[in-house]
Each structure stands twice: as structure tokens, then as C-alpha cells.
Structure 1
Amino acid sequence: MGKIALTLALTTALSMGGMAVPIAHAAPADGEPAFRALYKEMVETDSSFDTGDCTAVTNKVAERMKAAGFPAENLHLFVPEGHPKAGALVAVYPGRDPKAKAILMLGHIDVVNARRADWTRDPFTMIEEDGYFYGRGTSDMKAQSAIWADNMIRFNQEKYKPLRTIKMALTCGEEGLYLNGAKWLTDNQRDLIDAEFALNEGGAGELDASGKPVAQTLQAAQKVVMNFAVEATNPGGHSSVPRPDNAIYSLARALDRLGQFDFPVQFIDANKGYFTRMAKVVGGETGAAMTAIVANPNDAAANAILNKSPMYHSMLRTTCVATMLSAGHAANALPQRATATVNCRVMPGVSTDEVLATLTKVVNDPEVKVTSQRAYRPSNPAPVTPKILGTAEEVSASIWPGVPVVPHMATGATDAVSLNAAGIPTYGISGLFRDTDGNGVHGLNERIRVKSVMDGRVFLYQLVKAYADQKN
């Protein structure tokens, strides 16, 4: 990566592009007005790839923390060389026991692009309306990232003395366009962010259609992204003289076999915990099928019921699907080459070689070649232990009595992929309850309930303290 641009003297970051950064000092009591101002400024500072700047966000957050009394020497701003808009912020709040491993609060501050012409409201103006905060990043994930910074401010103002050191890393690049800051920190500042475990996005509260909380998920695993090329080649020739072997037909037959294939059910702590606990929440035929599949992963009847849901189907196994095609070189010529990209979402711990061998077996054609294009290094999922899950359950029950905390495996990926691979088990939990329609995340008119943010702020403040005071 070359030299690191590191700024510890935060007074040099008082402005971005010549514009003064407004500072809001912490308010009395629990500081909600200051939190709202911090959250609003983060949302209104565009950090999308096309039109924004993550470094502007991290500088402003650092300035607010410093103005609220957080020690400047414990604030570390990084700008990776060659990526001036991909800044990251790491904050450290020392614990009482230097031998006790830290806990890390991880959050990304980049957002998906948003066009004003497409939105009902300006995506980079945070508007409170009808019980919701509207704006790009209000849900994914500047609410939680703002809560992390707010936690650090509150701990310092309270003169809280945790057993363990508490760390915070706000990074860029989770959405896939900027340099990935979480991986950059693991590669370049591993000791600074080292922790026994990290808390991240990925888990969320689930509301029913009436807005009632029904479950809170704790994401303990994520699938790994792997891409493969499936390619058929042929000498080709003139299209007026077709030959029995044809690269397009060979590829089509191979993809049809792949489309009819299901990887076997595979359980790890995260998805086993999910189906075990959600069986009682869901109930009925589906709930019974969840219980049955946990008892016997080879239960064909239960598998058939659960496979009606694309989400359940994906949570139970590795999945591979064709996503792009390329074939032929002229309308009047037999194809010499036909290629498909197959995107796989792989269960944690499964190697690229294992998936490649399975795909080759399913394709079952020596004329069709399967090769690996992209793969993350395999890493074990974060273990679902009583120390992690039990503590989350206790804190959650004090705020949402009777709402279960359910382990979960994401079918997509977050920055936990980088931290897990670096040996820092990472769990997604937020206490931010979301609507059944997904709240416009990555889409139009993104929003989150005001009550969800304020309740989540209480939850994450208490949860981090509970973890920080745990003994080994």
C-alpha cells in the first residue's frame, strides 16, 4: 500500500473543501440532542462513491468526539495512500485490565449512490417525518456507526472504567466501490484494532406488519462469495453447415444440470440456531419443518417445505447460480466459445477447491471447463457461545421482553468477512428494528423508524458495557 497517511493532530481537520465543520457539544443527561446532531451530520455528508467522500465523514466524527472531550491522542485518522476519499477512523477507550482482550465496534460509513431526481426527498438531507428518519444511510449503516461514536463520547464523559479496552473502527468501502477499509486495517493496523471479538452490522430487529417486534437476529456467520467460469469451446465453422457439437448447446446443457442441482443442507452454529429458535416464532407447517430439518438435515419433506422460501433455501446450504453469459463471435458463424459466470455463496469454512470439484462433477462434461475466478480465503464462522448470545439475550430482554434473540447466517456479506479471516470473530447485532419491506436499503427513499434508532441506541450502549465488563 505504500506509506500511510496518518493524522493524530485532529485540529488540522477542522474543514473540508474550505467549509467549516459545525461542532455540537454534548448535551446534559444522556446526550440525545448531541447524538441526533452527530447522526444528522453523518447522513448529510455524502459518502457515496460517485459524488461523496468518506474522509469528510471520518474527519467530522473525529472533530465532534474531540469537541466533546474525547482525548485526541486516542483518535487515529487514516487515509490510505492513493485513496484520498477512503478515510478511516479508529478510536480507543482504555480498559482497567491490560491483559484482557479488547472489544471492537465496527461500522462502515460509505453508502450506496443515490440520485436526487429519483427520490421523493433529498437523499442527503436527513428529514424526520411521520415517525421516520429519511435519507441515504439512515439505515445502512450510519445510525449504528453514529451510535458507536456516541458510545465512546458517553463513556468518556461518564469517566466509565471498563474492564476491557473498547475500540471503534469506522471504515469505508463495505459497499464495494471504495478501497475496503476494514481489510486495509487488518492488513496495515492489525495491532491497533486487535480484539477478542467485534460487533458490527448484519443483525437487526424484525417487525411484523403491524410494527410489533418479533425477533432480533445476531449474525454469527456470512456466506463467502466465489465466482467460477463455466466455458465450452469448439472449432466452430460456417453456420450454414451446423455440426453436432456446439459450444452454446454444450454450455446450455451444463447450466441446466447446475440449475437442477442443490448442495446438501449444512449446519453451523449460526443457521442451526436460527432454524431452532425461529421454529417457535414462525409456527405452523413451516415451523414444524424447521424443527424437523434441524433434527435430520436429510429430511426430504422438511427440505421441500423450506425450499419454497428462497431465503430459507439459501440459508441452509451453499448456492451457485449463473449470472452472466457470453457466446459466439458472428451471427453467421458457429460459436467457438461460450462462457457463463457462476456466482456462488458458500458456507463458511468450505474451500474453493471443494466447490470447484462439485461444480465439475455436476457439469459432467469433459468438453466444458470450470475454473475459479474469485474467492475469499476460507475462515471459520464466529462461534455462538453463551458468553456472546447469553449477554445479548439479557440486555435485549430488558428492553424488548419476550422478543427472542436468534442466531443468524447472512446469505450476503459485510466487513465481518475481513475481520473473521484476520482472526477477529465478528458478530452482527444492532437492536435497530426494521420494517418488513426492508426500509429502502440500497433503494429509493431509505428510512428507519425514529423509535428504532433511539431504542437501538439504548441497547447498544448497554450491550457494549456488558461485554466490556465480562471476565474471561
Structure 2
Amino acid sequence: MRLGHRIVFGAAALAVPLAASAQVAPAPPSTLRPDQQAFRALYQEMVETDTSITTGSCTALADKVEGRLKAAGYTDAAITRFAVPDHPKEGGIVVVLPGSSKTLKPMLMIGHIDVVVAKAEDWTRDPYKMVEENGYFYGRGTSDMKAMDAIWVDSMIRFKQSGYTPKRTIKLALTCGEETSWAFNGVKWLAENKPDLIAAEFALNEGGGGRTDGKGRLVIANMHVGEKAAVNYRIEATNPGGHSSAPVRDNAIYELADAIGRIRDYDFPVQMTDTTRAYFRVAGKARGDAMGAAMVKFAADPTDHAAEALLNSDKSYHSMLRTTCVATLLDGGHANNALPQRAGVNINCRIFPGVSSDAVRATLATVVADPRMTVKQVDDRGPAAVPPPLDPKIVGPAEKLLARYYPGVPLAPLMSTGATDGIYLEAIGIPSYGPPGLYGDPDGNGAHGLNERAIVKAVYSGRDYLYDLIKVYAG
């Protein structure tokens, strides 16, 4: 990946000291404007509609979104619903607001409305009830990614209700299947079956945002440009087994546990792209602490092992520097009074751009170092990610608007360590970008984990920022 068009991120903003960075302060609900109250109700409805793959329904949420869009004035001709017979609960919705220009290509906003499964017994609060506490919204999907979904829907409603006619046609696709590698994926289906419906010059997606210092101060804003590839592997140990009253060291579970430990202790080699190098340089200067100094040093010299060691102490930075693989699912044995005949583990890898899945499988086999075990690739999320260019038509407006909403906060390009549905768009020639606007804390705000949360102030200010950004892009 290379930085196109000689864009310099945050050049002017970096002259502002860290103390001038935007402060994050919660807004009491009583001070909400009427339009914010309406948005909050929409956001709450989306969070409180279970869209997990096990107990939820994306189709049910798409029904509610359709009702809101029609109430705002969108006709049946502007709305497309889609699903497939064998996945009736994983349907999605596309809405189009026509533009006045005959020459400008459309823009597309996408958002996945499915969420990671949440087990209520593990949470402090009901995961499918949105609770506002101490400056945060709690609930499954509050940060990944129903805040942005709600902003997209809210913007389309406000555009229609205000009579706004953009120059560039604006499209919104809300889809299911992003949080799994095996269920129906709405963006993949649209790309393969309805490419004209979502055809666009570019897409706005998740993955951008920003990061606070963990104490309420927004330090860096991000433009998501490119991502890793998500691939799953299965490592399996087999054994003749036997009676548990006569145990032996040759035990499939023990052998698998040893292999998992070796994978835990292995770090893939450091890799850098122009995007990640620019991120560490810009974000490091913005921090002004020891970690920031290490980021700047490492951007200049990736062989600086002392700087790398400090970066590795931050889980997100560690992941940005290399391919990562982690055990996520475990199974083994067949009876409580028998030696195990089989034990297996799922290894979820996030593969650095340019590295093949076969090469990662070979590395895992080398790390396991046990010829009795098998290491097999079991699936992936789709085509390899195609990094989009850093187009000044995308970056420039985002950075200019950022200076108005978050004075003194620089914008840095960011390679996502996760995976998004942007890969399916890029495969058909639609570059996907994750804009700034929303932001979170360094700990990840519980996304995919327990007690997921979103910063209240970030949701409201991000709503205003993204609404204005859409209008700038749409002309």
C-alpha cells in the first residue's frame, strides 16, 4: 500500500499542543435538542433489536428501518429489500436518494446491522437494552456498529424531511453477516447479484473514528484505509485413546494444549505499509508521551527493538505491526471416563496485506512442530483486501471538517486490524473508506466482548460531523 497524491495528514494540526486536543464531556439527556432526542430513540431501537446470528433477526431490524424511511417520505421505488430463502432472518435494506447531477457518480454508505452474540449471564447489564451511565451508552452493538448505522439512517431521514437534493446520488445499504464467516453476507450478495444497485464512486464504511487517551481526551482521529484478511484454521490432534483409569502422557488434549501454548508465545515478524508508517508518525506526535515517542521512532526505523517492545505492550499497536493468530474455539474428548481420541482448536488469524493464507498455514505448522497434528485452513471471509488509494477528494474534506469539530486533533490513516465488508466492494471496484467522527477509548470499549459501550459525547458529535461530511461529499 502506498500513500497516493502526496497527502500529508494533520500537517497544520500537529502544530497545536496536546493540551488543545478535544475534550470529551458527556451531555446530560435533558440538554438534548429535539433532533437529538429523535436520533437517540432510533439508536436505542437499533441496539435493543437483537440481530445476533443465534437469537436475533437482521430482517426484523430492517423492517423497522423501512418503516422509519417510509414515514420520512421515501417511496417503495427508493427502497430495496433483500434476503435469500435459506437465511430469512438475515435480510437487509438499500435506500437511494437521487442526486441532481447526471455526471457525478453516486456515493454509498454501508453498515452491518448484525452483532456478535452476547450471553446475558456474562454481562453486568442486559446486553440487548441500551443503558446510559457515566457518559457511556452500554449494550451490544452500541459501538460495533449501530451508532454509525443509526447515524446513516438518521441522515437519510433528515435529508428527505428537509427537502435536500444532493448533486451526487446517496445510497445506503444496511446488511447482515459481517460478524460471521459462514452465514449469509449481505454486501457479498449485493456485489454478486445487485452490483448496479450499489454502484458508486466510493463507499463510507466502519473502521475509522478515533482514539482517546483513556481519560476523556480525543488524541487522534483516523481514516480507515485498508485492512487485514480474516482466515480461520483448525489444528487437530488425534490419538487411539483408551481407559481413563490408565492415563498416559500421549494424550490428544495435552498435545493440543502444548501446541496452543506455542502459538500463544509466537509473534509473526514485523511488517509495515506506507499507511501504518504514516499512522505511527502522526499519531505518535499527537500523543506527546513515551508511547508516542516510540511510535515516531519506530515509524522512522522499524528495526528499533526498544520502540517495538513498547508498542507491543499496546494490543492494538501490536496487531497493527504483524499478522496475528489466536485460539478462539476449543473442543476435545468424547467421554468423561475415556482418554481423548480427538482434540481441536480454531485459530483465527488476521493476515497482514500481501501475506498469503498458505504461508500463514505453513508458519502455524512450523510453530506447532508436531507432525502428528494437522493444520488446515477451514474458511476465510472472502477476497483479499484491495487497499484503496488515499484520494484527496475523500481525505481533504474529512480533514477540513475535523478541524472545525475537533480543533487540534490530527487525522491519521489507519489500517484496520479487523475485517470489514469493504473487501466485497473493493473487489468490484468501489474503494471503501472509514471516516473519522466517532471515537472510542484505548481498551476497545468492549466491542465483541462484555459490557460493550460507546462514548455518549462521541455519538452525538459524530452524528453532526458525519451528517456534514456526507453533504460535502454529495456536493
Given the alignment of the two structures, is residue 45 of structure 1 paired with residue 65 of structure 2, yes or no?
Answer: no
CA contact (8 A) 2:52 2:115 kept: yes
Task: Give 3-state SS (helix, strand or coil) of 1:84's partner.
Answer: strand
Q: Tell me how far apart the structure 1 counterparts of residues 151 and 258 of structure 2 sit (CA, whole Å).
A: 51
Give the superposition deviation at 1:231: 5.1
Q: Percent identity?
A: 56
User: What is the letter of the counterpart of residue 97 of structure 1?
Assistant: S
Task: After superposing the two structures, state which structure 1 stretch, 34-43 or 269-278, moved more.
Answer: 34-43
C-alpha spacing 1:94/1:246, structure 2 compared with 1 (3 Å)? same
Given the alignment of the two structures, is residue 77 of structure 1 paired with residue 81 of structure 2, yes or no?
Answer: yes
Residue 415 (structure 2) aligns with: 409
Task: Give 3-state SS (helix, strand or coil) of 1:434's partner.
Answer: coil
Match for residue 113 of structure 2 among 109, 113, 119: 109
C-alpha spacing 1:363/1:444, structure 2 compared with 1 (3 Å)? closer
Task: After superposing the two structures, state which structure 1 stretch, 93-102 or 115-124, moved more.
Answer: 115-124
Deviations 1:177-216, CA, capped at 9 Å, x for gaps: 8532222222222221122221122222323343222222
Residue 9 (structure 2) aligns with: none
Residue 25 (structure 1) aligns with: none
Give the superposition deviation at 1:234: 7.5
Given the alignment of the two structures, is residue 312 of structure 1 paired with residue 317 of structure 2, yes or no?
Answer: yes
C-alpha spacing 1:320/1:443, structure 2 compared with 1 (3 Å)? closer
Residue 175 (structure 1) aligns with: 179
Q: Tell me how far apart the structure 2 counterparts of residues 358 and 344 of structure 1 sit (CA, whole Å).
A: 12
- 1:53-132 aligned at under 5 Å gives the runs 53-114=57-118, 122-128=126-132, 131-132=135-136
- 1:210-359 aligned at under 5 Å gives the runs 210-230=215-235, 258-323=263-328, 340-359=345-364
Task: Give 3-state SS (helix, strand or coil) of 1:458's partner.
Answer: helix
CA contact (8 A) 2:207 2:224 kept: yes
C-alpha spacing 1:326/1:196, structure 2 compared with 1 (3 Å)? same
Give the superposition deviation at 1:447: 3.8
C-alpha spacing 1:447/1:341, structure 2 compared with 1 (3 Å)? closer
User: What is the letter of the counterpart of residue 320 of structure 1?
Assistant: C
User: What is the letter of the counterpart of residue 211 of structure 1?
Assistant: G
5+ long unaligned stretches in structure 1: 1-28
Residue 474 (structure 2) aligns with: 468
Task: Give 3-state SS (helix, strand or coil) of 1:227's partner.
Answer: strand
Q: Tell me how far apart the structure 1 counterparts of residues 340 and 43 of structure 2 sit (CA, whole Å).
A: 55
Q: Tell me how far apart the structure 2 counterparts of residues 180 and 191 of structure 1 sit (CA, whole Å).
A: 18
Give the superposition deviation at 1:399: 0.5
Residue 23 (structure 1) aligns with: none
CA contact (8 A) 1:320 1:342 kept: yes
Match for residue 188 of structure 1 among 190, 193, 197: 193
RCO (CA 8 Å, sep 6+): is it higher in 1 or 2? 2
C-alpha spacing 1:304/1:137, structure 2 compared with 1 (3 Å)? closer
CA contact (8 A) 1:119 1:444 kept: yes
C-alpha spacing 1:351/1:328, structure 2 compared with 1 (3 Å)? same
Task: Give 3-state SS (helix, strand or coil) of 1:221's partner.
Answer: strand
Q: Tell me how far apart the structure 1 counterparts of residues 111 and 252 of structure 2 sit (CA, whole Å).
A: 46
C-alpha spacing 1:131/1:372, structure 2 compared with 1 (3 Å)? closer
User: What is the letter of the counterpart of residue 146 of structure 1?
Assistant: A
Q: Tell me how far apart the structure 2 counterparts of residues 119 and 349 of structure 1 sit (CA, whole Å).
A: 38
Residue 156 (structure 2) aligns with: 152
Q: Tell me how far apart the structure 2 counterparts of residues 161 and 456 of structure 1 sit (CA, whole Å).
A: 22
C-alpha spacing 1:322/1:454, structure 2 compared with 1 (3 Å)? closer
Deviations 1:307-331, CA, capped at 9 Å, x for gaps: 2333322110112345566678899
Deviations 1:306-355, CA, capped at 9 Å, x for gaps: 22333322110112345566678899999877655433210123222232
User: What is the letter of the counterpart of residue 352 of structure 2?
Assistant: M
Given the alignment of the two structures, is residue 380 of structure 1 paired with residue 393 of structure 2, yes or no?
Answer: no
User: What is the letter of the counterpart of residue 70 of structure 2?
Assistant: K
C-alpha spacing 1:430/1:73, structure 2 compared with 1 (3 Å)? farther
Q: Tell me how far apart the structure 1 counterparts of residues 358 and 295 of structure 2 sit (CA, whole Å).
A: 30
Give the superposition deviation at 1:392: 1.4
User: What is the letter of the counterpart of residue 434 of structure 1?
Assistant: G
5+ long unaligned stretches in structure 2: 1-32
CA contact (8 A) 2:228 2:385 kept: no
Give the superposition deviation at 1:168: 0.2
Task: Give 3-state SS (helix, strand or coil) of 2:68's partner.
Answer: helix
Considering only aligned residues, what root-mean-square deviation do their CA atoms show, in Å? Answer: 3.6
C-alpha spacing 1:208/1:240, structure 2 compared with 1 (3 Å)? closer
Give the superposition deviation at 1:35: 2.7
- 1:430-445 aligned at under 5 Å gives the runs 430-445=436-451
User: What is the letter of the counterpart of residue 70 of structure 1?
Assistant: Y
Task: After superposing the two structures, state which structure 1 stretch, 94-103 or 395-404, moved more.
Answer: 94-103
Residue 448 (structure 1) aligns with: 454
User: What is the letter of the counterpart of residue 85 of structure 2?
Assistant: E
User: What is the letter of the counterpart of residue 41 of structure 1?
Assistant: E
Task: After superposing the two structures, state which structure 1 stretch, 329-338 or 363-372, moved more.
Answer: 329-338
CA contact (8 A) 2:384 2:423 kept: no
Task: Give 3-state SS (helix, strand or coil) of 2:285's partner.
Answer: helix
Deviations 1:139-196, CA, capped at 9 Å, x for gaps: 3322211111121122233443433221101112223385322222222222211222
Task: Give 3-state SS (helix, strand or coil) of 2:151's partner.
Answer: helix
CA contact (8 A) 1:201 1:430 kept: no
CA contact (8 A) 2:109 2:172 kept: yes
Task: Give 3-state SS (helix, strand or coil) of 2:90's partner.
Answer: coil
Task: After superposing the two structures, state which structure 1 stretch, 367-376 or 162-171, moved more.
Answer: 367-376
CA contact (8 A) 2:108 2:172 kept: yes
User: What is the letter of the counterpart of residue 228 of structure 1?
Assistant: Y
TM-score, normalization by structure 2: 0.79
Residue 13 (structure 1) aligns with: none
CA contact (8 A) 2:275 2:415 kept: yes
C-alpha spacing 1:426/1:255, structure 2 compared with 1 (3 Å)? same
Q: Tell me how far apart the structure 2 counterparts of residues 38 and 227 of structure 1 sit (CA, whole Å).
A: 35
